[in-house]
Structure 1
Amino acid sequence: MPREVELSRNERDFILQALGENIRLDGRKFDAFRDLDLSFGDEYGAADVKLGKTRVLARVSADVTAPFADRKFDGVFSISTEFSPMASPAFEVGRQTDAEIILSRILEKAIRRSGALDTESLCIVAGSKCFTVRADVHILDHDGGLIDASCIAVIAALQHFRRPDVSVEGEKVTVYSPREREPVPLSLLHHPLCVTFSYYNGGETMVVDATMAEEQVREGEIIITMNKFGELCQIAKYGGEAIDPVAVLQCTNVALAKVQALAKYISGRLEEDAKRRDAGGLMAELSAENER
């Protein structure tokens, strides 16, 4: 069965000893993220996130379908994950790993169940037609921090995405192309982001955004999901050693500062992309036609 390359005993002891001396192998502080790079594709809804050597691509799409029978006034929103074998030796096509199952559950609870996307705004004709929005998460390179990077990618892609505009006349629904009408942004109620804490030495040592090597020697992890307003959406702990509740409270304070910084960074990148599109996009083309 494929699996990750395991660290030797000497490597494990070296990492743990360094953490015990308040040193990380890459020189970061315990509460520091790796270098984050967020870029958007030419199409709306494609977000490429690089967190250190970890790389995640999220792509959002929308189709017109029928709503669920018990949710006639709501659209449909789903998140799917795909682990590419080129990202890690442990990933195999057609076989879900524990990491993929946990990632799917965390994203489901953090984004969909927290009501980040207003599904009522996706309704076109009650009980008949609605938008089905789907976020596909592709893991391209794995060096730790998959949950944090994937959540950033999905939230950024949802903010960047534009669905087609529609008009309704009786039972007739007209879906307009981007050239006919300007696409419409999704209605997001809040922007939850995940911060993963790995702990060592019985919870005395806590680090943010652990690398693959640090993840292999940790005693457990805590995933905290918050938005920039300090609203706690989720605290997840899958196994591992027990941890003091006071340490969890300290993690929430650190997570709030990190989430606010991440939200500000995402907003800045979205503004840069909007300026780039305005400079040479459809509006510039229409202006040129009007001048002629």
Structure 2
Amino acid sequence: MRPPSPSIPEKEFLFNSLKESSRLDGRQPMELRVPILTFGEELGWVECSLGKTRVLAHVEGKMVKPPPERPFEGMITIHSEISPMASSEYEPGRASDAEVTITRMLDKVLKRSDAVDKESLCILAGQRVWHLRLTLHFLSDAGNMLDCACLAGIVALKHFRRPDVEVIGDEVTVHEPTERAPLPLAIHHTPFCITFAFFQDTSIPPILDPSQLEQRLSAGLLSIALNAQRELCVLQKLGGVPLAPDEVVNIVAIAVQKAKELNSIVDASLKEDWAGRKVEVR
């Protein structure tokens, strides 16, 4: 059962507030909800919260035989499903348009941008490689699940540790964490997804990190994936609101600054988590 559409008074109140550069949750138009990262006991478990939007990410790895066309590279697969737990708008076993859009964007941002060095996942060329599986559970939809899922996914990859492996000839030995400290993944860069919402009324300014109501009443979304080094990975525009080149350039400049802020938050959260663990991590 889909949630009821916003009423006319709700729409008018929201639009009037946005025209005055005021949002219902007290944020400024270009203010991002501060992400909260919670780590599980197991390495690779991360829950990310953007306001009331919550996504749980989990990374697990196993050794497999690589495909013949890529004998020197490991594999990464991303599995995500939005269940009715997140919102009554979603139905079990049936992928919504939002779910398809999020899944495709995550594949582009986390996998095709070569964030993880796949060659470093090779154990024995043509025989054994690491297969990483990133699973995303959407716990609550309060708007902008894409950015929350992307952040949860990349942090889970940075948090994950794979067992140390020793190769002698054709013999592969996997060492337990008690014998040798697990190794971090080789990550080239840390991409973040930044989403902006635009409205049909030109007197309403674009807003960053839209809430669920703002997202539903918007006329279009622009998602930009980039890292703190100002490298643009993906730019995706949904909706029919036309944007001038100058507007896009300004939006990208804002996204660059927000990516730097997110990078600082992620680094600080990971350092705090490592400090609280007894297991030696190298």
Give the deviation of 1:212 after TM superposition: 0.4
1:115-164 per-residue CA deviation (whole Å, 9 max, x = no partner) reads 10000000011111100011111100000011111111011111110001
1:191-240 per-residue CA deviation (whole Å, 9 max, x = no partner) reads 00000000122486110010001011101010001100001111101233
Structure 2: which amino acid aligns with 1:10?
P
Aligned residue in 1 for 2:177: 178
Residue 249 of structure 1 aligns to a residue in which SS? helix
Q: Distance in 2 between matches of 1:32 and 1:21?
A: 15
Aligned residue in 1 for 2:166: 167
Residue 238 of structure 1 aligns to a residue in which SS? strand
Aligned residue in 2 for 1:251: 251
Q: Please, which moves more after superposition, 232-241 or 51-60? A: 232-241
Contact 1:203 1:243 in 2 (8 A): no
Q: How many residues align?
A: 280
Q: Distance in 1 between matches of 2:224 and 2:21?
A: 23
2:275 corresponds to 1:282: no
Aligned residue in 2 for 1:216: 216
1:67-102 per-residue CA deviation (whole Å, 9 max, x = no partner) reads 122110000011111212111001122110111100
Structure 1: which amino acid aligns with 2:279?
L
Q: Distance in 2 between matches of 1:98 and 1:226?
A: 24
Aligned residue in 2 for 1:83: 82
Aligned residue in 1 for 2:92: 93
Superposition map of 1:170-209 within 5 A: 170-200=169-199, 201-202=201-202, 205-209=205-209
2:235 corresponds to 1:235: yes
Residue 246 of structure 1 aligns to a residue in which SS? helix
Q: Distance in 1 between matches of 2:122 and 2:202?
A: 49
Q: Distance in 2 between matches of 1:56 and 1:217?
A: 23
Aligned residue in 2 for 1:11: 10
Q: Please, which moves more after superposition, 252-261 or 165-174? A: 165-174
Q: Cα RMSD between the aligned structures? A: 1.4
Structure 2: which amino acid aligns with 1:207?
I
Give the deviation of 1:36 after TM superposition: 1.8
Q: Distance in 2 between matches of 1:56 and 1:17?
A: 31
Q: Which runs of 5+ in 2 are unaligned?
A: none
Aligned residue in 2 for 1:60: 59
Q: Give the percent of matched residue pairs that are identical in Structure 1 and Structure 2.
A: 39
Aligned residue in 2 for 1:105: 104
Q: Distance in 2 between matches of 1:72 and 1:203?
A: 55
Give the deviation of 1:62 after TM superposition: 0.3
The TM-score normalised by the length of structure 2 is 0.96
Aligned residue in 2 for 1:137: 136
The 4+ residue runs of structure 1 with deviation greater than 3 A are: none
2:46 corresponds to 1:47: yes
Give the deviation of 1:4 after TM superposition: 3.3
Q: Classify 1:221/1:178 alpha carbon distance in 2 versus 1 (closer, same or farther; 3 Å).
A: same
Q: Which runs of 5+ in 1 are unaligned?
A: 284-292
The TM-score normalised by the length of structure 1 is 0.93
Q: Distance in 1 between matches of 2:273 and 2:111?
A: 25
1:251-277 per-residue CA deviation (whole Å, 9 max, x = no partner) reads 100000100000100000000001000
Residue 194 of structure 2 aligns to a residue in which SS? strand
Aligned residue in 2 for 1:267: 267
Q: Distance in 2 between matches of 1:216 and 1:83?
A: 17
Contact 2:19 2:204 in 1 (8 A): no
Q: Distance in 2 between matches of 1:64 and 1:276?
A: 29
Residue 225 of structure 2 aligns to a residue in which SS? strand
Q: Distance in 2 between matches of 1:103 and 1:203?
A: 29
| Structure that is richer in helix per residue | 1
Contact 2:15 2:204 in 1 (8 A): no
Q: Distance in 1 between matches of 2:167 and 2:218?
A: 55
Give the deviation of 1:282 after TM superposition: 3.5
Structure 2: which amino acid aligns with 1:282?
V
